[in-house]
Structure formats: structure tokens, C-alpha cells
Structure 1
Amino acid sequence: MQSDDKPTNGQPANGRHNPNFLDLLNQTPPPPGSKPRPKRLAGLRTAWRESWKEGGFLYQRWEELVQARHAGWHEIAVWIKTAGLLAGLSLIVMTVGAAADIASATLKGLSGVQATDTGDGSGLWGTVDHPVRVFLAGQAAHLPVAPAALYAFWQLTGLLGLIGGFLGNAGARITWTLFGTGSLAMVWSGTPAGGRAAATGLAALMWALASAFALRGLTLRPIVHNHPPQYMPQFNPELHLHATLPAPAPAGDDFDDSIHSLQH
């Protein structure tokens, strides 16, 4: 990839001058054989064409964009990094602002909801839902919040715990467990004494069926990994013996000793 180096002492660093918009606007002859047109418009058109030629300003920027897909972070052009960071920060700011507005509107809506009917308690679902409504309505009388807001928050908590637990989130599964325990306590407290045990048992069965999805994959068995460790120390026993050998005598001394032995 070619680079648009700055000139040094009036000469370009790479041996030739790479045109840019300012140079082309100042040195743009009119097209031969064409009718007279405004000088600025003709200069813009010529600069646009020249900038897309090999070595032009836009041509180099396009080459940097193409190579950025396969290059690492350190090889990407600085202007691409800057544009990406600014775009990411803008997206984060907009996302956080939208989430804050939605949360604020939801909380305001729950706080302003009027009290709703507690239902007649008919059917299997009504047997579990009606005691919860009665319990929340009785507790809301001592709290600065509407019974419907408490009931909506109870439903929202259960829904988030169910979905998050199905996705494997540990916090959502803890929330689902607390939601089920609290729901059983509310059913027991809000149901008349004659059918209290049956209503609580029915609520426990419904919660257990829903827990098959919310606690999917959860096990109480310890996980044992039989994989050997990546690093195994190796022991190579070796026996090192250090022996001192006498230095060999010079050749001349051996010859003299042999002669003396023969003479004796």
C-alpha cells in the first residue's frame, strides 16, 4: 500500500508527488474540446477523478479500508480506529439513554397503576393466582404502592427468572428459586384454612414443572475432571562419577624409561 508522504525540502519522500484535493483544485486545466464551464465545478470533477486513481487520496483510503478486514489492530490506519471508537461510544451512549428512558417509564407506569380486581379464584390457575393477589392487596394497604404495581412486579420477576434461568444465568436461577419460595408462602397465607394445603401443593407442582425449564441442566453432582494436568514434572535419575586420572607423560620420557629398564 502506498502512502501519501509529505515532501521533504520541496521533494516528495517516495520519489513522486501524490495529488490531493488542494493541489488538484489549484492545477486543473479545463477539459479539451469542452464548453466553458465554471472553474470551481470543473476542478471538483477533476479532483474527484484524480483522487480515485492509483496513489490518490481516496484510492489510498479505500485500500486501507479493504486491508483493515484482514489486518490486526496495530496495522489498521489511525483514522479507521478513531472512527470506530467514536461510533462505538455513540452507540453505547444511545443504548444507555434508551434503556434509562424505558426503565423510567416502566417504573412510573407501575407506580401509577390503579388497584385491579383480585379475581374470582376459579380454575387451577385461579387457585394459585387468587391467593397471591389477596396477599399483595393486604400488604399494599400498609405500603405506599398500589396492589397492581406489586402484582406486576411479581409477574415480571417470575418471567425474568424463568427466561434467564433457561439461558443458564446463575443470578436468574437464584431469582427463580426465591420467586417460587415466596410464591408458595403467599399462596399459603392467602388461601383459606380449609384448602390451604391443597392450594400450596398445587402451586408447588406448577413451580416444579416450570423449574424444569428455568433450571435446565442444573445438577448437584460434583464435576470430576479426569484430564491429566498439562504440566507433568519428569524425574530422570542420573549417577555422576568423578574420577581423577593422572596426566600422560611426554613421549620422550617413556622412551627413556624403556631403555633404562632394558639395561637393568
Structure 2
Amino acid sequence: MSSNDRQMNGQHRPTSILDQLEPPPASKDKRRLARLRAAWKESWEEGGFLYQRWDEIARARHASWHEIANWIKTAGLLAGISLIVMMVDAAGDIARVALKGLSAAPETGTGDGSGLWGTVDHPIRVFLADQAAHLAVAPAALYAFWQLTGLLGLVGGFFGNAGARIAWVLFGIGSLAMIWSAAPAGGRAAATGLAALMWALASIFALRGLTLRPIVHNHPPQYQFNPALHLHATIPAPTPAGDDYDEPGNVHPLQR
């Protein structure tokens, strides 16, 4: 093909039929996007990959552990392990700070007692400071231990731990007793009542799900016994017609 055939009006002419049929890049992207859309739609149809996975998730709510799909078990175990690791890490940080405060035991004041929290916290600080004067322990160590007990009781009670809930109840009773003992005589009742309300509100989280009603589990018996009496009666077969061997007159003497 000559150079004149290749150029016309300053433009390059295609040298083959394949060049003429090759789609532009924009049409390739549209076709690729159309294939992706078709594959996505097909996977959600009955029998598709995503349809089956979603059906397994829906059935897992009412199925036993052995009937749940393996990939759901694996995902649940990984999520549970990750949550436990984060909780242990956070509990380790809290325990480290609390133990550091108990060991260092810096001297702290009793506060000014202003505000709602100060009205409750100040009498406790005063009571612990008075008691620490007769003990071989710093007031700050007693106050840090009191805070740690309340925190562990609140968090442990939220997750349903029985021991933590007992510690939370004793923490509240002890706090009310300390406030009643160390609060000013004129505002003793108000300070104790305010502390009781705060403790009751916090108990919504620490004692969640706790009920005084007995839980009765009514399970149907696994084996049911249905007594039945079976009688087996033997009915003689009827005598065929014309068979008179049983009649009294049907006796023939033996002849030689």
C-alpha cells in the first residue's frame, strides 16, 4: 500500500479491518462495568454465591452450633478473640494505673466539697483520712482502693459477674455509711440521699438483667411413655362346607 493510500487530507487511514473494528477505550470500560453488574446481579439470584451466604446467615439465628456454616463460626471466633484481647488490654491498663496509685500513695487533699460530685466525694475523703490516721496506710491509698472497687464492681456487674455485683452492692452500702458519718450534720440527709440516687442510677448498668423472680424452665420430656394393652386372641378357622368329619354319626367301623 502506497503512502498516498495511508494518508488522506493529512489523516492516518487504518491499515487493516481489525483497526476499524477495535472499539474505543470508553466502550471497553462500559462493557467491563456491564459485566460486573451482571455478575453482581447473578450472585444475588437464587442459587448464587451471595444469595447462599445471606441464607446461611439468616438460618444461623435458629440453628445449633453444629448446623452453622464454618465461615460464620470462624468469623465469630475471630471477632470474639479480638474483643477479649481489647478488653484484657484495657483491664491491664486500668489495673496498672490503680496499682501504681496504691503503691505510690501520693498525699491528696480532701477537696473543697463543691458541686454535686463534691457533695458526695468530700465526706468519703474526710472519712478515709480520719480512719487512715489510726492505720498504717496513707489516705490516698484507701481512696484509690475505694475507687478501684467501685470501677471493678460496675464493669464486672455490667457483664453479669455475680462476685462483681456483690462487690458493687457492698461498695454502695459502704459509701452511704461513710457519707452519713462524715457529712455535716445540717446536710447529712441530703448528701446521703443524693449519693443513694447516684448509686441507684449507676446500678442500672451494674445490675442489668438481675431479677428476683425465680426462673422456671419448662422443657418437654425427651421420652414420652404411652402405656397400651395389647390382647392377642386366636380365632379358630371356620369348617369348610361339606366337611362332616366332626359329626357324631360319621363313624365307620373298620372292615377287614
Instruction: Using structure 1 for the length normalisation, give the TM-score.
Output: 0.51
Measure, in 1, the Cα distance between the counterparts of 2:221 and 2:178.
51
Matched with 1:133 is 125
- 2:102 partner letter: L
1:60-99 equivalence runs, <5 A: none
One-letter identity of the residue aligned with 1:201? G
**In structure 2, distance between residues paired with 1:258 and 1:126:** 121
Residue matched to 1:177: 169
Letter in 1 for 2:251: S
* Separation in structure 1 between the aligned mates of residue 160 and residue 98 of structure 2, nearest angstrom: 26
Q: Distance in 2 between matches of 1:228 and 1:195?
A: 59
Aligned equivalents of 1:151, 1:115: Cα separation in 2: 11
Match of 1:234 in 2: 226
Corresponding pairs, count: 156
In 2: Cα distance, 1:129 partner to 1:261 partner = 123
The corresponding residue for 2:108 is: 116
The amino acid across from 1:135 in the alignment is F
Question: What residue number does 2:137 align with?
Answer: 145
Kindly state the Cα deviation for residue 240 of structure 1 after the two structures are TM-superposed.
Answer: 6.3
Q: How far apart are the structure 1 equivalents of 2:131 and 2:232?
A: 85
Shift of 1:234: 3.1
The one of 193, 214, 220 equivalent to 2:212 is: 220
| Residue type of the alignment partner of 1:211 | S
For residues 27-59 of structure 1, give each alpha carbon's deviation from its aligned partner in whole angstroms, at most 9, with x where no partner exists.
Answer: xxxxxxxxxxxxxxxxxxxxxxxxxxxxxxxxx
TM-score by structure 2 length?
A: 0.53
User: What residue in structure 2 maps to residue 262 of structure 1?
Assistant: 252
Matched, 1:163 2:152: no
Amino acid at match of 1:176: W
Tell me whether 148-157 or 226-235 shows the greater mean CA deviation: 226-235
SS of corresponding position for 1:117? coil
1:57 is matched with none
Q: Distance in 2 between matches of 1:174 and 1:205?
A: 19
The one-character-per-residue Cα deviations of 1:141-188 (angstroms, maximum 9, x if unpaired) are 111111011101111111111111111111111111111111111111
Q: What is the distance in 2 between the residues matched to 1:234 and 1:123? A: 72
> Aligned AA for 1:112?
A
Distance 1:162 1:226 in 2: 33
Verify the 8 A CA contact 1:111 1:146 in the aligned structure 2: no
CA offsets 1:94-140 (integer angstroms, 9 cap, x no match): x9xxx7xx968854641331220100111111110000000111111
Once the 2 structures are TM-superposed, how far is the Cα of residue 224 of structure 1 from its aligned partner? 2.1
Question: Is the CA contact 1:115–1:146 (under 8 Å) kept in the aligned structure 2?
Answer: yes
Unaligned runs of 5+ in 1: 1-69, 71-94, 246-254
CA distance in structure 2 between the partners assigned to 1:107 and 1:143 by the alignment: 19
- Aligned-pair Cα RMSD in Å: 3.3
1:207–1:144 CA distance, 2 compared to 1 (3 A): same
3-state secondary structure, aligned to 1:262: coil
Separation of aligned partners in 2, 1:262 and 1:149: 125
Gaps of 5+ in 2: 1-69, 71-87, 237-244
